[in-house]
Structure 1
Amino acid sequence: MRAFVFPGQGSQKVGMGVELAEASAVARAVFEEVDEALSHKLSAIMREGPEDQLTLTENAQPAIMANAIATLRVLEEDFGVKLAEVGDCVAGHSLGEYTALCAVGAFDLATTARLLKLRGQAMQSAVPVGEGAMAALLGADIDTATALAAAAAQGQVCEVANDNDPGQVVISGHKGAIERAIAMVKDHGIKRGVLLPVSAPFHCSLMQPAADRMAEALAETSPGALALPLYANVTASKVTDPEEERALLVEQVTGRVRWRESVANMHADGFASFVELGGKVLTPMIRKIADEAETASLIAMEHLEAFAKSM
């Protein structure tokens, strides 16, 4: 069985989608529809920058989604490979869960773009700039990372945000607590702690104001039926019910991204092939989690053509 997966924040870069847009009217239509939905020329920022504008959370989230959906639409419409016919489930990392829902028809493209822009704005404004931080713990498993976070908290928030793969865990919380955690990594047998260049402490309890805003938005915009099952970030389990998924999307804002467990569960459930659309961030993680699985990253037209020929 085959899983299609969608990348999260950090996979953006200036120039993303340019080759697809130049080669395919289908891709251009996706970028134009997102621009119209947001009343903002996001495609121009994706194409030309400046980089600091693209990395703004409210721009990066819909941009990464738009690039991945453009890649999917080109695969489906230009190469005739339909996700619902060749795939058996979907999953996405953080904002990628929204992309996955768009890919299986639970949200239309314009709705997904608007939800992600709001999500980016809400997450950015939940904590004043400079008060929060995130750090990647390299050479850490979930148990050592959890112990380190608890030791570094000292009355502040310091929580596991992303369990990415067997050797990489991300923590999130108050800046002081995250800095303490980085200083304490060797004491916990962790190779290294790296402060991440993010503007807010995502996926921790400090994001509750953002979760509240997303709860309001999703109350008015519930996902529709899913063409394929989705493995949700916060449970690492298969979801088919739109109402259950709506609640999980709210919980996801403050909850841990259980990516390692999601991939491990998919693999245990019989998924032997993983295809990343619009990025190559998740593929290396998947190889560390399920080293026997086949993986592919589809970014450029040549990747899509080769994948279509293999079907």
Structure 2
Amino acid sequence: MRAFVFPGQGSQKVGMGVELAGASTAAREVFQEVDDALDQKLFSIMSEGPEDQLTLTENAQPAIMAHAIAVLRVLEKEAGIALTEAADCVAGHSLGEYTALCAAGAFSLADTARLLKLRGQAMQAAVPVGVGAMCALLGADLEKAQALAEASSEGQVCQVANDNDPTQVVLSGHREAIERAVALVKEHGIKRGVLLPVSAPFHCDLMQPAADAMAEALQKVPPKAFRLPIYANVTAAQVVQPEEEQRLLVEQVCGRVRWRESVLAMRAAGVEEFVELGGKVLGPMIGRIDSDAKVTSVVTMADIEALAKEIA
């Protein structure tokens, strides 16, 4: 069995999609459709920067999605590999869950772009700049990370935001609490704590205003039936009902990204191969979660051609 997986925020970089657009009409059509949906020259920012504009959450989220969907469209339209024939399920990391739903037909490309633009704006607006922060704990498992979060909170929000793999957990919350956590890592047997260059504290209770905004948006644009099962971030379990997925997407804004458990759940269901489309971030994580899993990261035309040969 094979899963197609889609990266989250942090995988953006200036120049993303340029090679694909130069080589493929299908890719150019994706980037144009996203630009039209957002009434914005997003592909220009993806191609040329400036980097600080691409890093803005409201731009990074639709850009990462557009890049991954462009890779998928080239695979489907030019290599003749249909998602439903090549994959048994899909999953995505944080915003990547929306990309996975777009890939599986639950949202149109234009609606996915607009939802992610709104999600980025709402997440940024939920907390004043400087009030929140996030840190990566290296050499930490979930148990150690949770103990550190509890010790550092002191009445403020300090929560596990991402359980990425057995060696990397991310905390999110009030800046002071996150700074306390970084200072206390050694006492909790954790190798290192690193403040992340993010503009808001994602996936913690401080994001409730953004969750409310997404609840309203998803009432107007609910997911339709999807062609493949999806593994949801907040449950690390398979979802097949659009109504359930709609609720989980709202919970996901404040909830933990249970990526490690999601990968283990897919493995337990029989997935042997993971194909990451549009990035090279999830592949190394999956390798640390289960070294026996086969992982392929697909970004360039050469990657697409190699994958098409393998699947055909």
TM bucket, shorter chain:
over 0.9
2-side partners of 1:180 and 1:31: how far apart? Answer: 42
1-side partners of 2:190 and 2:2: how far apart? Answer: 34
1-side partners of 2:251 and 2:114: how far apart? Answer: 19
Q: State the secondary structure of the residue aligned to 2:94.
A: coil
TM-score (norm 2): 0.99
Aligned to 2:152: 152
Aligned to 2:202: 202
Structure 1 residue 290: Cα displacement: 1.5
Matched, 1:214 2:214: yes
2-side partners of 1:87 and 1:73: how far apart? Answer: 14
Once the two structures are superposed, what CA deviation does each residue of 1:132-166 show, in whole Å capped at 9, x if it has no partner? Answer: 00000000000000000000000100000000000
Aligned to 1:164: 164
Read off the aligned partner of 1:23 and give its amino acid letter: A
Structure 1 residue 218: Cα displacement: 0.3
Structure 1 residue 41: Cα displacement: 0.3
Q: State the secondary structure of the residue aligned to 1:212.
A: helix
Structure 1 residue 272: Cα displacement: 0.3
Structure 1 residue 33: Cα displacement: 0.2
Matched, 1:70 2:70: yes
Structure 1 residue 224: Cα displacement: 0.3
Q: State the secondary structure of the residue aligned to 2:34.
A: helix
Read off the aligned partner of 1:96 and give its amino acid letter: G
2-side partners of 1:238 and 1:59: how far apart? Answer: 29
Aligned to 1:265: 265
Read off the aligned partner of 1:154 and give its amino acid letter: E
Read off the aligned partner of 1:292 and give its amino acid letter: D
Structure 1 residue 27: Cα displacement: 0.2
Read off the aligned partner of 2:64 and give its amino acid letter: I
2-side partners of 1:295 and 1:76: how far apart? Answer: 20
Q: State the secondary structure of the residue aligned to 1:5.
A: strand
Aligned to 2:14: 14
Aligned to 1:283: 283
Read off the aligned partner of 1:165 and give its amino acid letter: D
Once the two structures are superposed, what CA deviation does each residue of 1:72-131 show, in whole Å capped at 9, x if it has no partner? Answer: 000000100111111000000000000000000000000000000000000000000000
Once the two structures are superposed, what CA deviation does each residue of 1:210-267 show, in whole Å capped at 9, x if it has no partner? Answer: 0000000001111000100000000000000000000000000000000000001100
For these two proteins, the number of residue pairs brought into alignment is 311
Aligned to 1:54: 54
Over aligned residue pairs, what C-alpha RMSD do you find?
A: 0.3
Aligned to 2:118: 118
1-side partners of 2:242 and 2:177: how far apart? Answer: 37
TM-score (norm 1): 1.00
Aligned to 2:231: 231
2-side partners of 1:211 and 1:56: how far apart? Answer: 19
Q: State the secondary structure of the residue aligned to 2:9.
A: coil
* Runs of at least 5 residues in structure 1 that lack an aligned partner in the other structure: none
2-side partners of 1:196 and 1:294: how far apart? Answer: 29
2-side partners of 1:226 and 1:26: how far apart? Answer: 22
2-side partners of 1:40 and 1:248: how far apart? Answer: 29
Aligned to 2:309: 309
Once the two structures are superposed, what CA deviation does each residue of 1:29-58 show, in whole Å capped at 9, x if it has no partner? Answer: 000000000000000000000000000000
Read off the aligned partner of 1:22 and give its amino acid letter: G
Q: State the secondary structure of the residue aligned to 1:279.
A: coil
